[in-house]
Each structure stands twice: as structure tokens, then as C-alpha cells.
Structure 1
Amino acid sequence: MTLAIPDLPAVLETDRLIIRSPQPGDGPDLFDAVVDALADLRQFPASLPWAMEMPSVDESESFCVAGSESFQARKDFPFLFIDKTSRIVVGAGGLHRPRWTVPAFELGFWGRSSFVGRGLFSEAADALVNFAFASFDAKRVEAICDDLNVRSIRVCERIGMQLEGVLRQERRAPDGSLRNTRIYSKCE
């Protein structure tokens, strides 16, 4: 089966956010966002292993370049979340691991600690889910989060995703403890 992947909009906009794929040159802004979020992200080492190490500006830039290339090649769909008023990168996320035969995607998202609690990440996650359904005719978008990540759980529930189940003792954290994983989905 050959799948025709449509031309995609360069930018998604919500009431408060500009959501776009990372571009070369975005590394320093992404780095600042990651540094702001690291303390919160490190609470979930089993599901966010990339956050256990402090990135460099160069590594953040490499991520942006690779993300832009993956987006253009339609292999992965990373996005930056940019506050419309301040133009600050407040977080990132994406539609990952496309399964074109369904089509289905895994939703991911995270944000600066200093911007948590304002509804921005629910707004971004909802926009990405709607983008998947509208642009790719997705039939399923799923989110996988640590059972203790209350903020991510609330985002999933706020945007209408349903809890499909809890995978008990599914991941091992760096300290050796076993962690549970929740699977949420929204289907068309």
C-alpha cells in the first residue's frame, strides 16, 4: 500500500501558541527550555531517560537540525511550542513513531517548569492530536506516561484521551525501582 503524505502546514497556531517543527538555529532557545524543565522531568527517569543528562547548546542544536530533517522526510514529527506573546520556547513535543498502516502516532509533550499550570501544554497536546486526525487521517493517537506523572495524566484526560490500561512494573528506573506506565489514546 502506498501512502500519499500530504503537504503539511509550516506552523500550527492556537490561541496562545505557535507550534512548529524545530529549525536550524533553534538550539539555544530549546536549550533554555530544557534547562528550565529538567528538575521536573527528572522525576520520571524511566519514561524520560533523555532528561537525566544536562544537554549542551550544541546538542540542542543537533536535535533541532535532526528534527527538521525528520519532519521534512516524514519520519517523525517533532514540534516546538512557542508563546505568541513573549516568543519564548515554552516546551516541545511531537507525533512520534508513525505507524502509517493504521495510521497511528505516539503523542509526546513536555514544558518549561515556569510555564506549567497555565493550560499551555493541554492546548499544545490538543492541537497536535487534532493535527494528526486532520492532516494524516489518523485513526489513533496514543500517549504513554509514567503512572506517577500527574501533570501528563491530567493533560491526557483534559484533551479527551481515554485510559486504556496500566502496564504494571513495565519500566525500570535508573535507581533500579520498577515503574508503572499508563497508556492513553484518542481514536477517530
Structure 2
Amino acid sequence: MTFPNLPTVFETERLIIRSPQPGDGPNLFDAVVDALADLRQFPASLPWAMETPSVDTSESYCVASSESFQARKDFPFLFIDKTSHIVVGSGGLHRPRWAVPAFELGFWGRSPLVGRGLFSEAADALVNFAFAHFDAKRVEAICDDLNVRSIRVCERIGMQLEGVLRHERRAPDGSLRNTRIYSKCERTETTCKK
């Protein structure tokens, strides 16, 4: 798909949201380290968080993410605080299904900043970005059934719970985990009626 005027950066009230770029690795690494204990509670959903983080790994992610964004294969973003200019988290619009179009919303953030509404602000902005720039008809979020913080974000930004997939994933310890599916759809006569 070609989107010649697709912005790589936009702003909300408190955040600059932009595509990762080469050189962002050290700042992203700091955010990952700050969030790691919380992220590792959900190994079935976030297997990358089980890896040992490093500046090199974060830099490689930023380079690959920039290339994926430019190729219109994936749409990752960093969440940057307008005041401090630190990376507070990351997220994106993943797994595009252009025939619909539909996307999977993902997001995470630094643990000390949870509870301030920053990640709801970022998630809502990403959903709106999908509707405005891709003419998306559906954005979905897939959450571990025990991830109360992500569930709250989904509900706060008006996503609807579509269902719970029981025993959908297996965690590294062998336990079975349930997965919640949330969505927000473009309001039309034939989609996402309540």
C-alpha cells in the first residue's frame, strides 16, 4: 500500500508519538528496562520481554521498525514525553489486513508512569491515526486476561470486549492463559453494531 503523505510523527496533549529512527536505541532501552518487571508478568503475550534487554537489541529494533514503517509493513511508534523528551513507552498498529483495512493495536509503557493516563492517551491517538490515515474499519487489541492495566486502557478508550479465548496461549511455565479480544470499529450501518 502506498500512503505518500503518511506522517511519521504526531502529537497529543502530553506526548510526541513518532516512528522509531536509527539512534533511538539507547532511549528505548531505558524505557524497556523501566517496564520489564511488569511486561514479564505476561510472557505468553509478550515473549520479547523474556529476552535480556540490551542497547544493541533496542537499536536493532529501532532500525528494523523504521524500515518496516517506510515499507508500510508495520507501524510502530515511540511515545515521547513533551516536557522531559524521554521515551515513556512504545506501541503501534501491527499486522495490517489491507483488505478490510484492520490493525492490531499494541502498547506498553514505563512502570513508574502507569496510572497517569499517558498510555490511554497514546492508545487512543493510535486508534484515531488508523481511522484517519488508513481509513481503517477495525482496530483490535489482544490482551492477556490477567493484564488489568491493558484491559483498563482498552475500555477507557471505548474499545468493546468481543470475547475471551480460553486456554489460547501457553506461558513458558506451561500454564494456559486466556486472551481477551477488544475492538473499535468505524461506525457504519453494517459494522460493529452494539
Return the TM-score normalized by structure 2.
Answer: 0.94
Aligned AA (1:83): D
Q: Report the counterpart of residue 103 of structure 2 in structure 1.
A: 105
Aligned to 1:45, what secondary structure does the other structure show? coil
C-alpha offsets along residues 41-99 of structure 1, whole Å, 9 cap, x if unaligned? 00001100100122110010000000000000000000000000000100000000000
| Count of residues in Structure 1 that have an aligned counterpart in Structure 2 | 186
Alignment of 1:75-86 (within 5 A): 75-86=73-84
Provide the rounded CA distance (Å) in 2 between the counterparts of 1:30 and 1:109: 13
Q: CA deviation at 1:10?
A: 2.5
Aligned AA (2:178): N
Q: 1:58 is matched with which residue: 45, 56, 59?
A: 56
Contact kept? 1:93, 1:110, Cα under 8 Å: yes
Return the TM-score normalized by structure 1.
Answer: 0.97
Provide the rounded CA distance (Å) in 2 between the counterparts of 1:59 and 1:179: 28
Q: 2:112 is matched with which residue: 84, 101, 114?
A: 114
Provide the rounded CA distance (Å) in 2 between the counterparts of 1:79 and 1:125: 11
Aligned to 1:176, what secondary structure does the other structure show? coil
Aligned to 1:165, what secondary structure does the other structure show? strand
Q: CA deviation at 1:11?
A: 1.0
Alignment of 1:17-96 (within 5 A): 17-96=15-94
Aligned AA (2:138): R
Q: Report the counterpart of residue 186 of structure 1 in structure 2.
A: 184
Alignment of 1:157-176 (within 5 A): 157-176=155-174
* Closer, same or farther: CA 48–123 of 1 in aligned 2, 3 Å: same
Aligned to 2:103, what secondary structure does the other structure show? strand
Q: CA deviation at 1:4?
A: 4.4
Provide the rounded CA distance (Å) in 2 between the counterparts of 1:103 and 1:166: 23
Alignment of 1:114-133 (within 5 A): 114-133=112-131
Aligned to 1:101, what secondary structure does the other structure show? coil
Aligned to 1:40, what secondary structure does the other structure show? helix
Q: Report the counterpart of residue 152 of structure 1 in structure 2.
A: 150
Q: 1:134 is matched with which residue: 132, 135, 148?
A: 132
Cα RMSD between the aligned structures? 0.8
Aligned AA (1:18): I
Aligned to 2:36, what secondary structure does the other structure show? helix
Moved over 3 A (4+): none
Aligned AA (1:52): M
Q: CA deviation at 1:5?
A: 2.7
Aligned AA (1:95): L
Contact kept? 2:104, 2:140, Cα under 8 Å: yes
C-alpha offsets along residues 81-130 of structure 1, whole Å, 9 cap, x if unaligned? 00000001000000000000000000000000011110000000000000
Structure 1 unpaired stretches of 5+ = none
Aligned AA (1:33): A
Aligned AA (1:34): V
Structure 2 unpaired stretches of 5+ = 187-194
Q: CA deviation at 1:6?
A: 4.3
> Percent identity at matched positions?
90
